[in-house]
Every structure is written in structure tokens, then in C-alpha cells.
Amino acid sequence: MVPMSLLPIDPAVGPSSLVDRYGRAARSLRVSVTDRCNLRCLYCMPERGIRWFPKERILTFEEVTRVVRLLVGCGVREVRLTGGEPLLRRGLPVLARMLADIDGLEDVAVTTNGLLLEELAAPLLAAGVHRFNVHLDSLDPVTFRDTSRRDALGRVLAGLRELERLGAVPIKINVVLIRGVNDHEIPRFVELARTRPYQVRFIEMMPLGDGEKFEAERLLPGAEVRRLIEAIQPLVATGRERASAPASVFRCADGVGDIGFINSVTEPFCGGCDRLRLTADGMIRNCLFARRETDLKPILRGGGSDVDLMNACAFEVAAKERGGSLDLREVYETRLPRKMWQIGG
Ligand code: SAM
């Protein structure tokens, strides 16, 4: 439970509870539903020795739904289900439906590595999920295996085909580039965006994992990627989809899809951030890089009221830092207490 002395000044449950000191309102909630994953991406998870959250610490669907309903009452408008790999959570379409049924929630989206999409795309769509971000670092089976330590490219491609077949387009493809590992595939990804209804988004690798591959020199700045692409394919800027959207988006001059750049490291976009995060084990967090968080489980499981829950969330929002720069060395050397898959990317 949050100590009384730390509660926000105005504990009223209302939209103002989710506006931070810098005037940013939380509209978008990332909900992680599991810390488990069926890939072991180099920059994210170690191959072995992972200590998973014990099952009893994972929020139930009812607990997640209660928190989301309250946050929607205070201005949250979209939820993105993530993980770990969210499609590994048994019954995910049931949770998606419970969330999609919340009055006032406009959008339920999923971020997935796509391995289970072929089976789950249809039930998720039927449950009210209409937007899918699919993580795909390589279009080559060997490089896919090298970056993810699993031989699964075929399954991801089958999942993408299924999304297209079901008309769930445009599909966003998240590509994390690692210099010297998959950067030679940039032209192939550009060709994918030119010929398919996809938005291919190049994401800068962040020092947020527990893998061995993050070294500052492996980071490929988005500006460099853009220069490489413009040498082979003219890009037309379309801007951000919303001021708070992480990607700056460009259209291929003669193509059907888009290309986006998420330059989280070299050009952090904290000024327009509207995100809040709920981890699979019930922590409410105001930033991927936050060194603090509040555990909602004692409130959820200890008979706490909705006002107690909202106060805990409002407290995290009030504590959100201005951000705007990322000291790579500091983040990497001190190592954040939680890794990406324990937060929800
Ligand atoms: N399993 C799902 C997936 O693969 O999309 C959802 C969770 S995953 C943590 C979400 C996204 O975060 C993926 O696109 C993944 O590549 C990305 N990611 C993980 N670690 C990262 C890092 N250190 N830097 C940048 N992106 C990272």
C-alpha cells in the first residue's frame, strides 16, 4: 500500500489524476501479461538462467480488467497487450474481450513476436483487437536464428500472412537493428514496406536487456538508417501519427507501405509521452527507464478500494520524470533493476 504521506495532493478519482507535472496526460497503457517468451533475442533475454515471475505474482484477468477500467475512467484511451510474449498467456483472447468491452476504451492492440499468430490472429480479432505490431528482426532464416536463438522465421511469416488474409492491415513490423548482425537486411525490409501493406519501423536498440549484445557501437542511429535508405529509395515524410507516437513515419515514394523510425536512444520523444505501464506482476510504472514503480497487488489483493488503486497510479504519474535524454553509459553500467521483458516492451 502507498504510504499516506506519499499520496498525491488531490486524491480525487478523475482525469486530472493522470496528468503529470509537465502536463502530459496518460492516454496509452501498456499491459504486460507475462514475462515469458518463446524467443531469446540477443539484446533482450539471456539463453538460460532466467528466473520467471512465480505464477501467483501474475495478475489475473479480473485484476487487470479492474485496473484498466479505473484508468479508462481517468482518461486512458488505448491499451496495448505485451510481454514477454503476450500470445503465450493462455486465454489471451478472453482478456482482450474483457478489455474491449470497457466503456470508453477506444483501442486494444497487441505487440507480438508473431510465432503464435497463425492460430491466434482470428480469435484476437474476434475479441476486438484490431491493431498488431509484429516484431521481426530478420527476413533470412539464418540471421533470424542468430538474432533470436530460435528457428522460427516461417512461423512469423505464416502469422503475417494470416493477418493479411483476415484484413488486419496495416500491420506494423518492429525491427531492432544491431550493427554487424542484421543491418545488411535494411534494403530487404525497405522492399517489404514498398510492396506490402506494412509499416516497417526501425527501432534503436536500447540498453534494457540482459542479453550480451548491447554495446554502444552496436547501436545503429535512426538518422544513419534513414540516410542509407534514402540512397536507394526516396522517402516522403508523413510525420508522426500523433504527437505522442514514438515513430516518425515516411512513405516510400512509389510503394504501398510506410517506413518508421523509433529513435528512442538518439532522439528520445519523452516530451509527448502519454504512456503508462502495468507489468505482469502488477507494478504500475511511468517509464521503461524508471527506477521506481508501485506494486498494485497489495491493494488488489488486500481489499483496497478503487480510490486506493487510483491514488497509487496517480502517485506514479506524479513522479514521472521529464526525460528527454538517455545517458547510455549510465543506464548500461548501472543496469536497470527490471529488464524489458519484465516490464513489457
Ligand atoms: N514479445 C513481443 C515482441 O517481440 O514484440 C512483445 C514484447 S518485446 C519486449 C517488444 C519489443 O521490444 C520487440 O519489438 C523487441 O524487439 C523490442 N525490444 C526488446 N528489447 C529491446 C531493446 N533492448 N531495445 C530495443 N527494443 C527492444
pLDDT at 6 over 80: no
**Which of 69-78, 111-120, 216-225 is the least confident region?**
216-225
Q: Which residue has the higher pLDDT, 17 or 26?
A: 26
Each residue's pLDDT tens digit, 210-224: 666 566 788 999 999
Phi, psi of 192 (to 5 degrees): -60, -45
Q: Which residue has the higher pLDDT, 75 or 326?
A: 75
Looking at residue 5, its pLDDT comes to 39
Q: Going by CA atoms, what residue is nearest to atom 12 of ligand 1?
A: 345
Handedness of CA 316, 273, 266, 187 (dihedral sign): positive
What mean pLDDT, rounded, does the chain reach?
A: 90
Each residue's pLDDT tens digit, 147-178: 999 999 999 999 999 999 999 988 999 999 99
Looking at residue 216, its pLDDT comes to 76
Cell numbers that stand for 290 in this block? 524508471
Average pLDDT, integer, range 185-214: 87
Whole-angstrom distance, CA of residue 264 vs CA of residue 269: 7
Q: In degrees to the nearest 10, what's the CA dihedral of 168, 98, 30, 243?
A: 60
Average pLDDT, integer, range 301-323: 94
Ligand 1 pocket mutation, candidates 36, 42, 176, 177, criterion most atoms within 8 A of CB: 176
pLDDT at 198 over 60: yes
Q: pLDDT band at 134, cuts 50/70/90?
A: very high
Looking at residue 331, its pLDDT comes to 61
Each residue's pLDDT tens digit, 317-339: 999 998 876 666 666 556 667 88
Give the number of the atom of ligand 1 that is nearest the alpha carbon of residue 44: 20
**CA 119 to mean position of chain CA atoms:** 22
Give the number of the atom of ligand 1 that is nearest the alpha carbon of residue 208: 23
Q: How far is the CA of 324 from the centre of ligand 1 (A)?
A: 21
Give the number of the atom of ligand 1 that is nearest the alpha carbon of residue 43: 23
Do 338 and 284 form a contact (C-beta atoms < 8 A)?
no
Question: Could you write out the DSSP letters of every residue in 216-260?
Answer: GGG---HHHHHHHHHTTS-EEEEE-SSTT-S-EEEEETT-SSEEE
Q: How far is the CA of 15 from the centre of ligand 1 (A)?
A: 30
Classify residue 151 by burial, with Cβ atoms within 10 Å: 0-12, 13-18, 19+. Answer: exposed
Each residue's pLDDT tens digit, 244-295: 788 889 988 888 889 999 998 888 888 889 999 999 999 999 999 888 999 9
Q: How far is the CA of 341 from the centre of ligand 1 (A)?
A: 8
Looking at residue 238, its pLDDT comes to 85
pTM of the model: 0.93
Q: How far is the CA of 7 from the centre of ligand 1 (A)?
A: 33
Contacts of 27 (CB under 8 A, 6+ apart): 75, 76, 77, 78, 244, 274
As a whole-number percent, the residues of the chain with pLDDT over 90 amount to 70
Q: Going by CA atoms, what residue is nearest to atom 27 of ligand 1?
A: 205
pLDDT at 60 over 80: yes
Q: How far is the CA of 305 from the centre of ligand 1 (A)?
A: 34
* CA distance readout (Å), 315 to 67, 93, 319: 14, 31, 6
Looking at residue 1, its pLDDT comes to 44
* CA distance readout (Å), 108 to 90, 283, 308: 17, 20, 25
Residues with CB under 6 A from ligand 1: 37, 41, 43-44, 82-83, 85, 111-113, 135, 174, 176, 203, 205-206, 208-209, 340-341, 345
Looking at residue 335, its pLDDT comes to 63
Q: How far is the CA of 85 from the centre of ligand 1 (A)?
A: 9
Looking at residue 2, its pLDDT comes to 44
Q: Going by CA atoms, what residue is nearest to atom 20 of ligand 1?
A: 44
Each residue's pLDDT tens digit, 81-113: 999 999 999 999 999 999 999 999 999 999 999
Return the residue matching grid coordinates 529513435.
Answer: 263
Phi, psi of 314 (to 5 degrees): -60, -35
3-state secondary structure 262-297: ECCCCCCCHHHCCEEEECCCCEEECCCCCCCCEECH
